[in-house]
Amino acid sequence: QVQLVESGGGVVQPGRSLRLSCATSGFSFSTHAMHWVRQAPGKGLEWVAIISYDGGNEFYADSLKGRFTISRDNSKNTLHLQMDSLRPEDTAVYFCARSWEPVVVPVFDYWGQGTLVTVSS
């Protein structure tokens, strides 16, 4: 079955960096675009970034451009999110999600359980 498992979260000081990973299994990773979505404590969902199936294209939420970098390793079926210059407002649970395109707007059809990132001094 499809599985997505995030890791790499933790407590980090403002201005520092953190790298999240999402290990996947149970599907052909190299044929799906992938997303990161985050959820601040007690708040709603916020889309973060998408990377194409081959890593050739990346798009980010406008508010995050320049600080976050999404990447993937298709040989290891793993997705990454490099987060730099972290701010307290980046505190959230970060989910990876598989992209599925049965219609024009991609669907997030499978999600990981999330990893908590806390930015605090």
The C-alpha atoms of residue 73 and residue 64 are separated, in whole angstroms, by 22
Contact set for another protein, span 62-81 (CB under 8 A): 62
Q: Which amino acid is at 103?
A: V
For another protein, the closer CB: 13 or 43: 43
112 binds another protein (CB under 8 A): yes
CB-based contact 81:70 (threshold 8 Å): yes
- The token duo for 62 is 């406008």
- At closest approach, how far in Å is the CB of 53 from another protein? 15
36 binds another protein (CB under 8 A): no
The C-alpha atoms of residue 47 and residue 33 are separated, in whole angstroms, by 14
Which residues, 6+ apart, have CB-to-CB distance to 39 below 8 Å?
Answer: 45, 46, 92, 93, 95, 114
User: Judging by beta carbons within 10 Å of its beta carbon (0-12, 13-18, 19+), is residue 42 exposed, middle or buried?
Assistant: exposed
Contact pick of 24, 72, 95, 119 for another protein (by CB under 8 A)? 95
- At closest approach, how far in Å is the CB of 14 from another protein? 25
- At closest approach, how far in Å is the CB of 58 from another protein? 8
- At closest approach, how far in Å is the CB of 47 from another protein? 4
**Residues near another protein (CB under 8 A):** 35, 37, 44-47, 50, 59-62, 95, 100, 102-114
